[in-house]
């Protein structure tokens, strides 16, 4: 399941839990547990994406510094 699909499913769960129709307790708990799992999974995906962005940014900074040094004859 992609990040976007997980978010969409999470939205569906929130809508069901907030709906004026009362769900049975077991159904509510099952949806809540699924939602918590989705939140954790999305958080992990976001953290991994953040690390990737930081790595790319760091590589870009190193490449830029290297090019500057080459242009300055260092």
- 23-34: per-residue pLDDT in tens? 899 999 999 999
Q: Specify the pTM.
A: 0.73
Distance CA 45, CA 31 (A): 21
Residue 20 DSSP class: S
Q: How far is CA 9 from CA 25, 34, 56, in A?
A: 20, 9, 30
Per-residue confidence at 58, pLDDT binned at 50, 70, 90? confident
Tally of CA atoms within 13 A in the half-sphere of 26 that contains its CB? 0
Please say whether the beta carbons of 58 and 37 come within 8 A: no
* Residue of 33, 37, 32, 38 lying closest to 16 (CA atoms): 32
């Amino acid at each position: 399941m992609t990040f976007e699909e997980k978010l969409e499913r999470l939205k569906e769960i929130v809508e069901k839990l907030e709906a004026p129709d009362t769900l049975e307790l077991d159904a509510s708990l099952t949806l809540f547990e699924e939602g918590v799992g989705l939140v954790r999974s999305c958080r992990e995906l976001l953290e991994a994406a953040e690390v990737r962005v930081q790595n790319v940014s760091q590589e870009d900074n190193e490449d830029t510094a290297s090019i500057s040094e080459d242009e300055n004859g260092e």
